[in-house]
Amino acid sequence: MAHKVIISGGGTGGHIFPAIAIANALRRAQPEIEILFVGAAGKMEMEKVPAAGYRIIGLDIQGINRQSLLKNLALPFKMVKSLWKSRQIIKEFGAEVAVGVGGYASGPLLIMANYIGIPTLIQEQNSFAGKTNKSLGKKAKKICVAYDGMEKFFPAARVMLTGNPIRRSSVSISGKYHEAIASFGLEEGKKTILVTGGSLGANTLNECMKGALDKLLQADIQVIWQCGSYYFGKLERELNDKLPVNIKLVPFLQRMDYAYAAADVIIARAGAGTISELCVIGKPVILVPSPNVAEDHQTKNAVSLVDKKAALMVTDMSARIHLIDEALKLVRDEAICVELGENIKKLALLNADELIANEILKLIN
């Protein structure tokens, strides 16, 4: 009989892509395994998961809205409804293990799995565990982490250092430089900076770029600028014909491997999934942690790399003044580029998806 696993969570690419990587690893290990995803209705996972070939059910759940307290009034009702629906999903599907990767849907699904007595596994991606995962970790059978020292958040005996699962297709860059440069219509041999705000884009990075177009043109530096589909239309209208030929503005990078292969220096947010990919890529990086995340975990992620001389960091608050100058300074400093690239590469953990899949199968057996 085929084993049955539920994977819950999502909200951003940083949660969804690792979840899909785990599912793919489970399928490689046991081709007949049945996998069901549970996400938050209306969020990115409802589109990305079916595109990867998996079934998903949406819960009507949201996070706490810090801007508008009124919007939180429905939250307790949504939570109760989601708990009830989670129980129904687990029972009907016949799940043997429930996996949480973070995101709104993880909470109610894992709470209910623990209540029913289904073994749970948490995949904690960040260097700082949020409140929900800390609470869920008390009953989880296994907590797979990406950073050392996570015993301060979870029961030490159940913590396992696996790294974060990454999209293998995104980090496979060997021998792709020429086709990558050609695909963006860039010039070979010219220094290239990749600016990426993650799957949703980042307003701060976009503002930094907008203010530095002349500077980048004068510096004779090429840029691949991934701005996020939410911002793309507005930027295209604003910049119109002001965009220099050396700057390629794109809403989303379908071929992340090409973007990484073409880049000499990378500017990125400090989400856990992004950092895991950057470690494997092994190129010099400037991290600009997002301030709009729970418990400022992106800053903690970035600091853990800066402390190992594996990345540079510019705060979101100072980015508009310093970021592009720092990037231009770095791209010209070969020695620092080599040092940062070598140090970040030492932190790479490539087979996290297989290690986690193995732990899930152990919980079934």
The reported pLDDT for the residue numbered 66 is 63
Q: What topology is assigned to 4-165+350-364 in CATH?
A: Rossmann fold (3.40.50)
d(CA 283, CA 285): 6
CB 23 within 8 A of CB 54: yes
pTM: 0.82
CB 172 within 8 A of CB 257: yes
Residue ranges in the chain whose pLDDT is less than 70: 63-70
The reported pLDDT for the residue numbered 65 is 62
Query: Is 299 known as a binding-site position?
Result: no
The reported pLDDT for the residue numbered 68 is 66
| pLDDT tens-digit series, residues 6-64 | 999 887 777 888 899 999 999 999 999 999 999 999 888 999 999 999 999 999 887 66
The reported pLDDT for the residue numbered 129 is 85
| pLDDT tens-digit series, residues 209-225 | 999 998 998 999 999 99
Residue partners of 319: CB distance under 8 A and separation at least 6: 204, 205, 208, 288
The reported pLDDT for the residue numbered 349 is 85
CB 286 within 8 A of CB 330: yes
d(CA 239, CA 193): 19
End-to-end CA distance of the chain: 13
d(CA 178, CA 273): 26
- In DSSP terms, 248 is beta-bridged to 224
**Which residue in the block uniquely carries the two structure tokens 């010209």?**
332
Q: Do domains 4-165+350-364 and 169-345 have the same CATH topology?
A: yes
- In DSSP terms, 51 is beta-bridged to none
- In DSSP terms, 98 is beta-bridged to 6, 120
The reported pLDDT for the residue numbered 126 is 85
d(CA 186, CA 223): 9
**Helices and strands: H and E segment counts in the chain:** 16, 13
The reported pLDDT for the residue numbered 295 is 75
The vertex-273 CA angle with 63 and 320, nearest 5°, equals 80
The reported pLDDT for the residue numbered 78 is 80
In the chain, what are the domain boundaries?
Answer: 4-165+350-364, 169-345
Query: Is 167 known as a binding-site position?
Result: yes
Q: Beta strand 247-250 with 222-226: parallel, antiparallel or unpaired?
A: parallel
d(CA 284, CA 340): 5
d(CA 235, CA 40): 29
Query: Is 298 known as a binding-site position?
Result: yes
The architecture that CATH gives domain 169-345 is 3-Layer(aba) Sandwich (3.40)
